[in-house]
Structures are given as C-alpha cells and as structure tokens.
Amino acid sequence: MGLDGRPLTVETPIGPLTRWRLQRKTAEPAACQAWLNASGVAFTPVEDRREDAFCVVSDAGTLGDEVAGTAVRLSPRRPMMTCQLAAAMAVWRRGSVEPAARELLGAEVREIDHVGVYACRRIYNQPAGRPSAHARAAAIDITGFRLSDGRRVSVARDWRADSPEARFLHRIRDDACQVFGTTLSPDYNEAHADHLHLESGWMGLCA
C-alpha cells in the first residue's frame, strides 16, 4: 500500500514518492514478480546468468509489449532486464510517456526505440573502473519514440529544439527522475547526447 493507504499500481500518478514506493514494493524478487503480474505487465522470467566477475544478472526476465491492457512495442523487442527495471518502465510508460504524447503531440506512442539493456561492460566501456548498471541488466538507453501518426521523436534530433517534441522529451525525463534511481539525458554529458539512460535503484541522480 502507499503512504495514503492506496495500492501502488501502474495507474497511480507519478509524484515525489513514486521511486521510494516502487522500490519498497519490488525490493524482494517474489514481491516484484507478483506486482508485475497484478499490474498486467508482460514479463517472462529468465534464468540467472554470470558472464564475468561483475556481469551477474539475477531476478530478470524479458519485458513484452503489454502493460495493463495497452501495448507499446519495444524495439528491439523483449529485452532482458531486472524485475525492478521492468516495474519502473511500466510505471513510467503508463504514467508519463503515454499521457504526455497525447497531451503534447496529439498522438499515441506505438513504439519505444532503445539501444539495449544488458551489456557486460564497465561505465563508458572503460577497461577499468566501476561496472555499468547495464552489466546487471538494470538500465535501458532510450533513443526515441514512434507515434501513431507516423512521426518519430528522436532524442538526438529533438532534445534541444523549440518544439512539441522537445517539450515531450523534457516532460518524460522529468517524470523519469521520480521513477528511476538514475536518469541521465543529453543535459548530463556528451556521452548521453542521443539517449535517455534510465536505471532502477534508490540513488536519485537526475540530469
């Protein structure tokens, strides 16, 4: 239940406590899976995997298109990710991406383009240093959105424009900061000039 006594669902409006409530709800693997099932999220568990000393993926699955009765395709489809990341994606998609597209762009989101979730590497592909959240399948990099009217919203092209597409991107980035533990956009650095890095967790880094 939330602090106000209401259950946390993908339909609950995003607010300052969303990340905290979501992390508490999904902290335990069994509870996370149960929450996804109850929320109508298409999530198929996969076996744990270890590829290197720091590339360990546990309590993960493939995320499908359906969330609580609506379908938005991820491209590439069915990426493997942790249960907590899948939960955050579901909340963000239903509570931010879909309504923001209707309000600011007058269209429905049909597809979300990304450049991957799991990658056995360290931050910025450096040979040494801290492992990336991608090494745990705990982060996704979003590059754009395809709409029902045929338009494509691109982070690389539209982020710094004076346009409805730019306002849409900034709106969903701001909302993501209240859902994901780490949200990095083109405002953060050049390495993120063409995507939104969305990472599950408690941290609260927003840029």
Give the residue from 121, 122, 120, 96 showing the smallest Cα distance to 109.
96
Q: Cα–Cα distance between 92 and 112 in angstroms, integer?
A: 12
Average pLDDT, the chain: 93
% of residues, the chain, pLDDT over 90:
85
Residue 192 scores a pLDDT above 50? yes
R_g (Cα) of the chain, nearest Å? 16
- Residue pLDDT, tens place only, 117-155: 999 999 888 887 888 999 999 999 999 999 999 999 999
| Average pLDDT value for residue range 17-37 | 94
Neighbours of 162 (CB within 10 A): 7
pTM of the model: 0.94
Q: Is the pLDDT of residue 2 over 60?
A: no
Per-residue pLDDT of 42-83, as tens digits, reads 999 999 999 988 899 999 999 999 998 889 999 999 999 999
pLDDT class of 1 with cuts at 50, 70, 90: very low
Specify the pLDDT at position 54.
87
User: What pLDDT was estimated at residue 165?
Assistant: 98
Cα 165 to Cα 103, 106, 179, 205: the distances in Å are 11, 11, 21, 24
Q: Measured in Å, how far apart are the chain's first and last C-alpha atoms?
A: 30
Using 50, 70 and 90 to split pLDDT, how confident is the model at 6?
Answer: low
Q: Looking at the predicted structure, is the pLDDT value of residue 114 above 50?
A: yes
Average pLDDT over every residue of 94-111: 98
